[in-house]
């Protein structure tokens, strides 16, 4: 698996081991990737975004569509962290991203976009945003407990 030069997760996601906050560039990130690849922390070593893991189309590569998508185990909702700090309503989504979101919702799955301070929920017909966020929170907390138990 190759990130093909994308480094977006090294910016938009937090790395607690380095006190790196979400949205700030990791100081160990070079133009084409991690400068400390062989000794990077486990949180980086174990991270594979959906684009990489599921071999999504090139237009949805995170540095192109400006969103890093993940799945929380036990939950079908795609969670996208957006590389955009302002009001999410001003985030200009690409045609590919828009049509992908519409396709996901039509297949009865939800998408949540987040930029750290705001969330935008795309839910299938008849499913409320609160239900999507509640199920996501439940799955995330269960996952965190499992990870704690494995330490
Ligand atoms: S966001 Fe995905 S493709 Fe981009 S660097 Fe991270 S894991 Fe690789
Ligand atoms: S340590 Fe490497 S892989 Fe981890 S966030 Fe920094 S640059 Fe990215």
Note whether residue 86 is domain-resident: yes
Nearest to 135, CA basis, from 71, 39, 54: 71
Q: Provide the residue count of the chain.
A: 151
> Residue 148 — pLDDT band, cuts 50, 70, 90?
confident
Residue 82: partners with Cβ closer than 8 Å, 6 or more residues away: 12, 66, 67, 88, 91, 113, 114, 115
Residue 105 maps to a domain: yes
In a domain, 16, yes or no: no
pLDDT in tens, 74-93: 999 999 999 998 899 999 99
Q: Is residue 9 part of a domain?
A: no
User: Into how many domains does the chain fold?
Assistant: 1
CA distance 72 to 82: 17
pLDDT confidence of residue 72 = 96
What's the predicted TM-score (pTM) here? Answer: 0.94
Q: Is residue 30 situated within a structural domain? A: no
Q: Tell me, yes or no, whether 6 lies in a domain.
A: no
The verdict on residue 111 lying in a domain is yes
Q: How far is the CA of 121 from the centre of ligand 2 (A)?
A: 28
**Structural domain span for residue 90:** 48-149
Pairing of strands 119-122, 111-114: antiparallel
Query: By the 8 A CB rule, do 84 and 66 touch?
Result: yes
Q: What is the pLDDT of residues 29-79, one digit of tens each?
A: 998 899 999 999 999 999 999 999 999 999 999 999 999 999 999 999 999
Q: What is the whole-number distance in angstroms between the Cα of residue 17 and the centre of ligand 1?
A: 19
Q: What is the CA radius of gyration of the chain?
A: 16
Nearest CA to ligand 1 atom 6: 9
Residue 20 lies in a domain: no
């Amino acid at each position: 698996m190759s990130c093909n030069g994308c480094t977006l997760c090294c910016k938009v996601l937090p790395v607690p081991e380095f006190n790196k906050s979400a949205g700030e560039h990791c100081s160990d990130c070079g133009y084409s990737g991690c400068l400390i690849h062989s000794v990077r922390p486990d949180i980086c070593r174990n991270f594979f975004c959906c684009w990489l893991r599921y071999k999504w189309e090139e237009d949805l590569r995170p540095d192109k569509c400006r969103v890093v998508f993940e799945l929380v185990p036990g939950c079908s909702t795609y969670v996208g962290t957006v590389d955009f700090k302002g009001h999410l309503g001003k985030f200009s989504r690409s045609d590919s991203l828009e049509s992908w979101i519409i396709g996901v919702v039509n297949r009865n799955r939800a998408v949540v976009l987040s930029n750290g301070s705001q969330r935008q929920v795309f839910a299938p017909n008849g499913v409320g945003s609160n239900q999507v966020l509640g199920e996501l929170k439940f799955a995330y907390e269960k996952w965190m407990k499992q990870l704690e138990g494995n330490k």
